[in-house]
Amino acid sequence: MISKTLRHVVLGLIVFIWVVPFVALITTSFRSELASQTSGFWTAYTASDLGHRFSTHDKGKNLEVMEMTGNIFDRLNKEDTSFVIQGKVQSILYKGRVPDPDKPGKTKLIRKLVPPGEAMAVRDGSFVFQANGDFTWTFSEMTVPKPKNLEAIINQDPVFGKEAYVEVLFKDKNVPNALISSFIVTIPATIIPITIAAFAAYAFAWMRFPGRDWLFVGVVSLMVVPTQLAFLPILQGFSGIASWAAALNAFLTDCEATKSCSYPSKSFASLWVTHTAFGLPLAIYLLRNYIVGLPRELLESARIDGANHIQIFTKLIVPLSVPALASFSIFQFLWVWNDLIVALYIGPNDGTDLVFPIRLEKQLGTFKDQLHLLNASAVISMIVPVIVFLAMQRYFIRGLLAGSVKGG
């Protein structure tokens, strides 16, 4: 009984740990910039106090009046229609100078929160506001008041909008470019290793050659090599290839005249090669263990009928190995799509060619306060992997389990 209860508690804790960040991510992506900067996501579903700056009237509106009326919410919502602000005005932050009792003849700057209904001096006039946002600005004589910016503390009702998604997708060209770059990297970096691994797995499973078992052990042992450990030799290798290519280009062409001999050591191609190298050991291991468990009689019948290795591989092994191929494809696609470390050190540095994880890190902005843009970008980044997983999920568990428990 205790064991069963403990399992339920642990399962509930795991679900909680996964669900809460996801809810926070989605919620913050639909909040305004101000709300995401000044309050936690858990306050988004209830009324909360937020500060808003509004202007008493439009600049250039030169009207001679003794009394000016308006509404704070109308002023706020006129400037930003993405998030309709509603609620109750709690107070307005008053800043002004008053006589200093400690220093006769001098004044001091004071700041205080003025509640609804209390008059405050604003530019030779008396400003009074109500909780519903209505305000009256009166003067002792006819005057042309200049616009005044005031800070209102509003007990704001929950409000959500799609402003962050509109800005990320349609106003910021870097995000669509990063999505395209991620596709350029991810698709080849998934297809290339799974193609090579399928041929290698078939050879390890059904072809006999000297040193086969030792070579397979060597391939499997590569899975324990830390990714970071391989960065330095990989970078040195790509730099050497780029230098060799530049020297060959200079020898074969007159590129020195146009200063176009150099080749970048960091490119999409370098990411394809690196992800292929990192993904091959696991791919070969999973596919070999799956293929070796296929019925031996089926392959022997094909050989009796005169089929060679290529025909057996393409017409029998590949169709029967679709679950294993799909399971690894999901793993490889998700890893490459979400990879930051390899892309940061091996990928291109050009701003237009940055992959999405690097662009995602830059969405926070210079002052690291653009949480709504970061979260909206993260949600967009999640859509593609979710679609891939849902499209291939029926093969995932079957292929993964078969490739991990069978052996020969």
pLDDT tens for residues 147-186? Answer: 999 999 999 888 888 888 988 888 878 888 999 999 999 9
Number of domains in the chain: 3
The reply to whether 82 and 147 lie within a common domain is: yes
Residue 184: name the closest of 352, 345, 408 by CA.
Answer: 352
Share of the chain above pLDDT 90, in %: 25
**pLDDT top residue among 20 and 226:** 20
Q: What is the pLDDT of residue 257?
A: 64
* Across 19-28, 65-74, 117-126, 394-403, least confident range: 394-403
* Residue 355: CATH number of its domain: 1.10.3720.10
Q: What is the pLDDT of residue 152?
A: 94
The reply to whether 28 and 59 lie within a common domain is: no
Q: Which of the four pLDDT bands, split at 50, 70 and 90, describes residue 402?
A: low
Sequential DSSP letters for 141-200: EEE-PPP-EEEEEEEEPP---SHHHHIIIII-THHHHHHHHHHHHHHHHHHHHHHHHHHH
The reply to whether 375 and 245 lie within a common domain is: yes
Mean pLDDT of the chain: 85
Q: Which of the four pLDDT bands, split at 50, 70 and 90, describes residue 256?
A: low
Distance CA 242, CA 236 (A): 10
Task: Give the Å distances, CA to CA, from 242 to 26, 44, 46.
Answer: 43, 52, 58
Q: What is the pLDDT of residue 204?
A: 92
Mean pLDDT value across residues 343-348: 86
Q: What is the pLDDT of residue 403?
A: 45
Q: Which of the four pLDDT bands, split at 50, 70 and 90, describes residue 408?
A: very low
Q: Among 129, 157, 185, identify where a domain stops.
A: 157
What 8-state DSSP symbol labels residue 399? H
The reply to whether 312 and 332 lie within a common domain is: yes
Distance CA 155, CA 46 (A): 10
Domain that holds residue 301: 166-405
Distance CA 205, CA 32 (A): 57
Whether the pLDDT of residue 401 is over 60: the answer is no
The reply to whether 246 and 350 lie within a common domain is: yes
Please provide residue 119's backbone torsions phi and psi, each rounded to the nearest 5 degrees.
-75, 145
Distance CA 284, CA 193 (A): 9
Q: Among 140, 157, 174, identify where a domain stops.
A: 157
The reply to whether 117 and 252 lie within a common domain is: no
Distance CA 15, CA 96 (A): 53
Sign of CA dihedral 237, 243, 247, 250: positive
Regarding beta strands 149-156 and 87-99, do their DSSP bridges make them parallel or antiparallel, or are they unpaired? antiparallel
- Please answer whether residues 185 and 193 qualify as being in contact, where contact means their C-beta atoms are separated by less than 8 angstroms: no
Whether the pLDDT of residue 312 is over 60: the answer is yes
Task: Give the Å distances, CA to CA, from 370 to 43, 99, 361.
Answer: 18, 41, 11
Q: In what order do the strands lie in the sheet with 125-129?
A: 65-71, 134-143, 125-129, 120-122
The reply to whether 236 and 374 lie within a common domain is: yes
Task: Give the Å distances, CA to CA, from 283 to 170, 212, 268.
Answer: 38, 17, 21
Mean pLDDT value across residues 259-280: 83
Whether the pLDDT of residue 64 is over 50: the answer is yes
Mean pLDDT value across residues 29-46: 86
The reply to whether 195 and 269 lie within a common domain is: yes
Please provide residue 175's backbone torsions phi and psi, each rounded to the nearest 5 degrees.
-70, -50
Mean pLDDT value across residues 322-348: 89
**pLDDT top residue among 345 and 231:** 345
Q: What is the pLDDT of residue 393?
A: 76
Mean pLDDT value across residues 67-88: 85
The reply to whether 138 and 29 lie within a common domain is: no
- Please answer whether residues 341 and 403 qualify as being in contact, where contact means their C-beta atoms are separated by less than 8 angstroms: no
Q: What is the pLDDT of residue 405?
A: 45
Q: What is the pLDDT of residue 201?
A: 93
**pLDDT top residue among 145 and 364:** 145
Q: Which two tokens stand for residue 395?
A: 């093969």
Whether the pLDDT of residue 272 is over 90: the answer is yes
Whether the pLDDT of residue 140 is over 60: the answer is yes
Query: CA geometry: angle at 194 spanning 192 and 198, to 5°?
Result: 120
The reply to whether 273 and 144 lie within a common domain is: no
Of 36-40, 60-64, 85-89, 99-103, the range with the highest mean pLDDT is 85-89
Q: What is the pLDDT of residue 366?
A: 64
Helix (H, G, I), strand (E, B) or coil at 104: coil
The reply to whether 198 and 270 lie within a common domain is: yes
Q: Among 157, 184, 217, identify where a domain stops.
A: 157
Q: What is the pLDDT of residue 193?
A: 94
3-state helix, strand, coil in the chain (%, to 5): 60, 15, 25
What 8-state DSSP symbol labels residue 52? E
The reply to whether 398 and 250 lie within a common domain is: yes
Q: What is the pLDDT of residue 197?
A: 94
